[in-house]
Structure 1
Amino acid sequence: MTIPKQTSAECADDRQTAADQPLVRFTPPESLSKRAIRRPELHRIVPLADTTIYEMEQRGEFPKRFFLTPRCVVWDLGEVEQWLEDRRLASAGSTAERTCGPDVRLRKSRPVRAKSRRA
């Protein structure tokens, strides 16, 4: 059995009908669109030190990390972005004065560094 060859005009017609078809995009359900990020990406989003993030997690002020494997720790990107947005809104709506560090000009004495002794 032989298959008849299509002419170039028939091929062009096939392309046009395919081009006329609307594209159907697949949108995953909400549960499949979640994304986990590792520490380096977290630091690009939230510029805080590891110890600060850890302490805030322990106090319940930052999204909790979870383990994918015994050695792979990740955070949920959606939770981190929501935390960041909450912080932004809290900062914008805050009328309280921001605290500043101690006034070093009021010190009685200057801290002394211990000199190391080399033999």
Structure 2
Amino acid sequence: MSAEIHDLKGLRILTKKEVCALVPYTPQHIHRLEKAGRFPKRLQLGPNRVGWRLTDIEDWINGRVPAVSSQSADSDDESEKS
């Protein structure tokens, strides 16, 4: 049963409100990032409804975490040199 639930994780669709709860950006900024190709594209679910795949948002977040870690490590190295 848990394997079935795990397989369905890739099908989970997030609302704009749920995405904004996970990502600390305004809806306007998320839209700008989408247009620039720097955020996962929304899915058109109906004439007045959009959503994002949970896995796409998780991948985007995980892709940003190493960049933050390496930047803080670089700044730590510079402070040690001073």
- Same-fold call, TM > 0.5? yes
In structure 1, stretches of 5+ residues that fail to align are 1-24, 97-119
Which residue is 2:80 aligned to? none
Bigger Rg over Cα: 1
Please show how residues 18-97 of structure 1 align to structure 2 within 5 Å. Answer: 25=1, 27-28=3-4, 30=7, 32-34=8-10, 35-94=12-71, 95=74
Larger proportion of strand: 2
CA distance in 1, matches of 2:69, 2:13: 28
Give the root-mean-square deviation of aligned CA atoms: 1.7
Task: State the Cα distance separating 1:33 from its structure 2 match.
Answer: 3.1
- The DSSP-based 3-state class of the residue aligned with 2:3 is coil
Q: TM-score, normalised by structure 1?
A: 0.54
CA distance in 1, matches of 2:42, 2:2: 30
In structure 2, stretches of 5+ residues that fail to align are 76-82
Larger proportion of helix: 2
Report % sequence identity: 30
Task: State the Cα distance separating 1:26 from its structure 2 match.
Answer: 5.2
Q: TM-score, normalised by structure 2?
A: 0.76
Which residue is 2:78 aligned to? none
Greater than 4 Å deviation, 4+ residue runs:
none
> Contact conserved, 2:43 with 2:50, CA < 8 A, in 1?
yes
Residues 1:67 and 1:26: Cα distance change in structure 2 (over 3 Å): same
For each residue in 1:51-101, what CA deviation from the matched residue of structure 2 results, as whole angstroms up to 9, or x when unmatched? 1101100111000001111111100111101111111111111237xxxxx
